[in-house]
């Protein structure tokens, strides 16, 4: 009986991922903004707007597999970040996933990027201009972190990376900016003067080549699930746990957990039962 339950759980998990990956990409729901859900249970968005493929100080990449719809605060945040980055001499930013036109699960089962409040931006600040379409599609983003994940790659680090992260962490409406623990560690070593913005730079698994900018639920979005605010302080005294995990023995794989069911309003938005 237990084996049957495990099998059914795995089947549900992969069925949900397959449905999200191969379902047609529906157009955005017109009308006012309505964000439903968020967090580990996922969610969806009505009234999403799209980010133009290129703008002042930014360009989107991997357009055949990425999606660039989001809440207005997110789209305006990217536009502001690109403009501010250009004003201090940074190269055009490389922007990846935001959300699908109606949000919901992303290809591959990614649990984030479902409600239009998240965006990935590459951290490679080596100088480059605007790319041709084929270059934007094929570009590979270099990691800023050593292969052992214990420190940054010195050749990839510099003041431009620090300035970009500071710009992102101080955007209007930003909730937090996720980066690899080694990147946060480097900021803790090097940032001088005002360190208040470091509170919003939080360590997370992966995120060695890009930062994940997450915005707060906009005012009036009562169906949007807000995250707990980042703890007070710069967070630099809370990093050792992440590096200890690199030495921890890996636990044997357990039974796969099925993805939580989306809110009913989202199921209806996608035409799912």
Q: What is the pLDDT of residues 179-193, one digit of tens each?
A: 999 999 999 999 999
How do strand 118-122 and strand 58-60 relate by DSSP bridges?
A: unpaired
- The position carrying tokens 């084996």 is 3
Q: Are 128 and 96 within 8 A, CB to CB? A: no
SS3 224: strand
- Residue-wise pLDDT for 230-273, tens only, equals 999 999 998 999 999 998 887 777 776 767 788 999 999 998 86
What is the C-alpha to C-alpha distance for residues 57 and 48, in angstroms, rounded to an integer? 22
What are 267's two structure tokens? 């199921």
Residue 252, pLDDT score? 78
Residue 247, pLDDT score? 85
CA distances in angstroms from 188 to 6, 85, 122, 233, listed in the order given:
43, 22, 20, 12
* Residue ranges of the chain whose pLDDT lies below 70: 1-23, 108-110, 256, 258, 273
- Residues in CB range of 156: below 8 A, 6 or more apart: 123, 124, 142, 143, 144
What is the C-alpha to C-alpha distance for residues 221 and 100, in angstroms, rounded to an integer? 19
How do strand 58-60 and strand 93-95 relate by DSSP bridges?
A: parallel
Residue 254, pLDDT score? 73
SS3 45: strand
Helices 72-87 and 159-169, interaxial angle, to 10°?
Answer: 150
**Exposure b/e, 61-88, CB count within 10 A at least 16 = b:** bbeeebbbbbbebbbbbbbebbebbbee
Rg, Å, the chain Cα set: 19
What is the C-alpha to C-alpha distance for residues 168 and 152, in angstroms, rounded to an integer? 19
CA triple 135-141-145, angle to 5 deg: 165
What is the C-alpha to C-alpha distance for residues 33 and 210, in angstroms, rounded to an integer? 28
Query: Is the model's pTM score more than 0.95?
Result: no
SS3 268: helix
What is the C-alpha to C-alpha distance for residues 48 and 36, in angstroms, rounded to an integer? 12
Per DSSP, 170 falls in state T
What are 92's two structure tokens? 């055009």
């Amino acid at each position: 009986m237990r084996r049957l339950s495990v099998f059914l759980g795995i089947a549900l998990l992969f069925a949900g991922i397959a449905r999200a990956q191969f379902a047609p990409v529906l157009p955005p729901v017109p009308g006012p903004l309505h964000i439903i859900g968020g967090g580990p249970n996922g969610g969806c968005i009505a009234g999403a707007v799209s980010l133009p493929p290129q703008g002042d100080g930014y360009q989107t990449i991997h357009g055949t597999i990425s999606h660039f719809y989001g809440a207005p605060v997110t789209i305006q945040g990217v536009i502001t970040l690109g403009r501010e980055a250009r004003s201090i001499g940074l190269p055009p930013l490389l922007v990846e996933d935001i959300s699908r036109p109606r949000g919901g699960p992303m290809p591959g089962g990614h649990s984030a990027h479902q409600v239009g409040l998240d965006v990935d931006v590459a951290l490679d600040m080596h100088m480059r201009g605007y790319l041709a379409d084929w270059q934007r599609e094929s570009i590979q983003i270099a990691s800023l972190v050593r292969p052992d994940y214990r420190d940054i790659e010195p050749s990839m680090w510099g003041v431009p990376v620090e300035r970009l992260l500071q710009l992102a962490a101080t955007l209007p409406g930003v909730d937090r900016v996720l980066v690899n623990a080694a990147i946060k560690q480097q900021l803790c070593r090097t940032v001088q003067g005002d360190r208040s913005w470091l509170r919003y730079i939080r360590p997370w698994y992966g995120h060695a080549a890009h930062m994940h900018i997450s915005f707060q639920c906009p005012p009036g979005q009562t169906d949007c699930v807000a995250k707990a605010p980042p703890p007070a302080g710069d967070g630099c005294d809370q990093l050792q746990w992440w590096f200890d995990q690199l030495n921890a023995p890996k636990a044997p794989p357990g039974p796969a957990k099925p993805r939580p069911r989306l809110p009913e309003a989202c199921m209806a938005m996608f035409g799912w039962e």
